[in-house]
Amino acid sequence: MITKKQIIFELESLLSLRGLVEVYEEVAATQMQKVRGAVLQSRQFQEGLLAVFSRVKKAYLKQQKTAKLHRVSNGRVVAVFVAANSGLYGDIVDRVFDEFVEYVKKDKPDVVILGKLGVSMMEDKLPKFLYNYFDFSDKTVEQESFEMVIRYLIQFEKIVVFHGRFKTILSQDPSVTWVSGERLDQGEGGQEAKVETDYLFEPSVDDVAKVFEGEILASSFEQTLHESQLAKFASRMLALDRSVDNIEKRVEAVRRQGRKINHRLFNRGQLATISGISLWGK
């Protein structure tokens, strides 16, 4: 049977844990608000940039250029999983990884993992797959680390990134972004944008198309990293908020147990008093 001392100890532990979780929740909320505006604005910019590139690519093909416009044409595909370095990010990392695993098993691409948590997840779900690992911060996109990853990725014709995407504070979804390759010039619904107007390009459509391709690769990949960070911060805040609710429920349950014990001890004391009075009365 649980004792009053155990009740007091558990209650103090729960209140301390609640305070700690609330601090983490506040930090996650601050981090989310810090990057949210920039990420959403950049998302709009990237979508506009892709729309412009679609027109450039269409003009490139219209001027009897070759159908392939790539930095390299080796047919190699690399799948990048943007994981995390620590836990407490809710279920968003796991859900992204589930989609990543499904794609890797089906298409057998080269694999790149960003974040220490991804290593343990690979060992658990895909132990026989070889992969390249890059350490990457959960909080910022460090230029040195970013350039190191980009230098590795540019040797592949197609690059697909699996990451989280922020929708609302209550909703973060897995997302798959092709930052290069044949799907790069596709618009909404996978349809190529049509060019209704003829454009003049300086110095040439070929040079402009190649510059666009190179710039889009780097900027689109960086955007996926920021998208992942925002989704993880929001997911963490939501998970911690649920944890606070669960702790509150447990605190209330422990307090009820404490009140029952107090009543039981009080009743026991009353019985002892009554018994004593009865003995003295005899």
pLDDT tens digits, residue range 63-74? 655 555 556 667
CB 219 within 8 A of CB 48: no
In the chain, the domains with their CATH numbers are 48-235 (3.40.1380.10)
CB 91 within 8 A of CB 174: no
pLDDT at residue 55 tops 90: no
Q: Hey, what long-range contacts does 186-189 have (CB within 8 A, 24 or more apart)?
A: 186/54, 187/50, 187/51, 187/54
pLDDT at 200: 72
Q: What's the pLDDT tens digit per position in 152-193? A: 998 898 899 999 999 888 889 999 988 874 554 444 444 444
Q: Say which residues have a Cβ less than 8 Å from residue 204's Cβ, sequence separation at least 6.
A: none
Q: In 3D, which of 165, 172, 212 has the Cα closest to residue 57?
A: 212
Give dist(CA 34, CA 23) in Å, integer: 17
Q: What's the pLDDT tens digit per position in 90-130? A: 889 999 999 999 999 999 999 999 999 999 999 999 998 99
Q: Say which residues have a Cβ less than 8 Å from residue 118's Cβ, sequence separation at least 6.
A: 81, 83, 84, 97, 133
Beta bridge partners of 111: 79
More confident residue, 65 or 29: 29
Token pair recorded at residue 116: 């220490």
More confident residue, 142 or 131: 131
pLDDT at residue 250 tops 60: yes
Mean pLDDT for the stretch of residues 27-39: 83
Mean pLDDT estimate for the chain: 81
